[in-house]
């Protein structure tokens, strides 16, 4: 068995990212900045040999993935296993609102309690299991090839932790930038980190120029 190369990307920016409002499984579209980021991502990956693009089925990820698919010609498939963590009835609120309305829940979330489940949502342990299984399934289809995964901040965080064997409660010291390029390797048994948070394609170009 040969390794599968994985490019993993968080979707472009949304208005709720700017407002620090919790999106979870709510279907929020890209804003103008996010659309620009998706186009810049597509340009950055246009020379990559990508066997398939797998995207979360939520609009913000699908829009980002579609920009790459349109330019590269790689097939695009939606997979709900790549969705963001479900935050249940937290969704649509800001963290400040949750702290004010439900301080004990906010404390458990802030401390990254692995077993804490927002009402109607998922725990970190549940998210970890879902992402590990989804990535293993998708990567196994592409032995010796390269695939692109377009998903969400929580998914990127989990991929980093799985690849570096960091505990779910370890403080985050890595970036989860919208439309950054992250690279991993699937060896058939585990993930390995190759590169993280490459944002060079988002620097040094005006948005007006990208519209031409």
* Whether 99 is catalytic: no
Q: What is the Cα 125 distance to its own chain's centre? A: 17
CA–CA separation, 106 vs 110, rounded Å? Answer: 6
Per annotation, catalytic residue among 11, 142, 152, 201: 11
Q: Which two tokens stand for residue 15?
A: 């208005």
Q: What phi and psi, each to the nearest 5 degrees, are found at residue 177?
A: -70, 140
SS3 category, 70: helix
Higher pLDDT, 210 or 189: 189
**pLDDT tens-digit map of 174-186:** 999 999 999 999 9
Active-site hit among 63, 84, 91, 122 = 84
Please report which confidence band the pLDDT of residue 205 belongs to, taking 50, 70 and 90 as the band edges: low
The question of whether 142 is a catalytic residue gets the answer no
Pair type for strands 181-186 and 191-198: antiparallel
Give the whole-angstrom CA distance, residue 176 versus residue 9: 9
pLDDT average, residue stretch 13-22: 96
What is the mean predicted confidence (pLDDT) over 141-145?
97
Residue that is written with structure tokens 């990254």 in the block: 112
3-state secondary structure of 21: strand
The residue whose two tokens read 């980002």 is 64
Average pLDDT, integer, range 108-123 = 95
Handedness of CA 167, 60, 47, 180 (dihedral sign): negative
Domain chopping of the chain, boundaries: 4-210
Q: What is the mean pLDDT of residues 26-45?
A: 98
Query: Taking the alpha carbons of 166, 188, 195, 32 in that order, is the dihedral positive or negative?
Result: negative
Q: Among candidates 44, 38, 36, 94, which has minimal Cα distance to 61?
A: 38
- 119 pLDDT above the threshold of 50: yes
Predicted confidence at residue 203, as pLDDT, reads: 92
pLDDT recorded at residue 138: 98
Assign 3 a pLDDT band (cuts: 50, 70, 90).
Answer: very high
Token pair in block for residue 13: 């920016």
Q: Name the fold adopted by 4-210.
A: Rossmann fold (3.40.50)
- Mean pLDDT for 191-198 is 98
Residue 59 has pLDDT above 80, yes or no: yes
DSSP 31: -
11, 151 contact by CB (below 8 A): yes
């Amino acid at each position: 068995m040969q390794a599968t190369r994985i490019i993993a990307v968080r979707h472009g920016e949304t208005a709720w990212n700017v407002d620090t409002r919790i999106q979870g499984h709510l279907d929020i579209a890209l804003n103008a900045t996010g659309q620009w980021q998706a186009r810049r991502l597509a340009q950055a990956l246009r020379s990559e040999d990508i066997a398939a693009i797998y995207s979360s089925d939520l609009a913000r990820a699908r829009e980002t993935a579609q920009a790459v698919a349109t330019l590269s010609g790689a097939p695009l498939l939606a997979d709900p296993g790549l969705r963001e963590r479900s935050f249940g009835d937290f969704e649509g609120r800001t963290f400040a609102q949750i702290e004010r309305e439900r301080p004990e829940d906010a404390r458990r979330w802030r401390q990254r309690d692995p077993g804490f489940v927002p009402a109607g949502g998922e725990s970190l342990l549940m998210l970890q299991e879902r992402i590990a299984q989804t990535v293993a399934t998708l990567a196994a289809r592409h032995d010796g090839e390269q695939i692109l995964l377009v998903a969400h901040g929580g998914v990127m965080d989990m991929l980093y932790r799985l690849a570096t064997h960091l505990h779910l409660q370890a403080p985050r010291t890595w970036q989860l930038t919208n439309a950054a390029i992250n690279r991993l390797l699937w060896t058939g048994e585990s993930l390995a980190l190759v590169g993280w948070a490459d944002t060079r394609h988002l620097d040094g170009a005006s948005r007006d120029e990208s519209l031409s």
